[in-house]
Structure formats: C-alpha cells, structure tokens
Amino acid sequence: KPKRKKKKSQPVKKRLWEGWIEGNHSHLEGQIFIVISKKDKRAVTSLLKNFRKRKTDEEIFYNLCFCLMAPPTTYASNRTSVQELIDADFFHTDLTTEQVETIVTRTRFFRNKANYLAEMKLQFPTLLLDVRAERNVSKQRDMLVHRVKGMGMKAASHFLRNMGEENLAIIDSHI
C-alpha cells in the first residue's frame, strides 16, 4: 500500500459574530464570546425568537413538565414523554399518578417524576399567577425551586429561559 502524505495543519481563523479575531483584544478581557457558524447562528436566533413569543397556559404547563422531567433524561426520551402527556390531555384531564407513571416510563426515575408532575399540576394555576406577578427573574427562579418538588436551579432557569427570560445563566458542570 502506498503511504499517504500527511497534510500540514493550517491555522484556522475563527469568525465571531462581531468579526474576525485579530490583533490586541485586551479590552475584551472578562467577556465571553461564542464561536459559531452562520448556519448555527440562524438556528439559535430563530430559537431565541421562539422563546420570546407569548405562550398559552397550556404551552407553559407542558414546558414545565418537560423541564421537570429533564434531569438526567435524554432530550428524545423526554420529548416523547411530553408528547404522550399532550396526547393524554394531561393539562385538562385528571390522570392518576399511576397513569402518569405509565406515560413517563422512558424518563429516568419515572416514579418520582410522575409524583412531581402530579403535585405540580395541582398547584400550577396559582404558581403561574405568582410567577407572572413577580418581575424579578431571580425571585421567579427561587419560587419555582421552592414550590415545585423536583425542580432545581438549572431546570428552573431552563424553564424561565424558555418563557422568554434572558437574564439567567444556565450553568452545567460539564463545561
């Protein structure tokens, strides 16, 4: 077999949304920049626009279900479980905890999560009013964490971000 010639690695210029990375950038110290392709920028921009759209109470409810079931479940499994909750009309129908368990079996810790969902559903109307009445996003997040069993800071931040809040950091320990 003929040996392949190794290609010399070429330095790559990465493009930021703001422009090319060149020169002295000491004035940017402490700033965070994301290197992203134009295609990904369009996708992220579209997603952020969707987050800002006004949502119905039912959409908010199912988004809260999604965020409550997320840790540590895959996106695909969680999305399928939420779709099955929608198909069962969980928002309008009184399902037993056992029925909810059957629907969310593909999520990790499904028995606990079924209990969390059932408890959250009971308090959802007043919880939603209280979260909407509170203008401070940190207090909204604290309210969710303290009142929704199974909801942590990260899931509460995801939920609020999905509802259009932009002044939250969602920190993952894997970064």
Q: In 30-74, where does DSSP find H-type helix?
A: 38-52, 57-69
Element (H, E) at 113: helix 110-133
Strand ranges in the chain using DSSP code E only, listed in sequence order: 15-16, 19-20
What gap in Å lies between CA 33 and CA 30, rounded to an integer? 10
Residues in a beta bridge with 35 = 16
List the catalytic residues: 154, 172
What gap in Å lies between CA 94 and CA 36, rounded to an integer? 45
Tokens of 120: 């959250």
Taking each helix axis as running N to C, give the angle between helix 75-87 and helix 57-69, from 0 to 180 degrees, rounded to the nearest 10.
Answer: 140
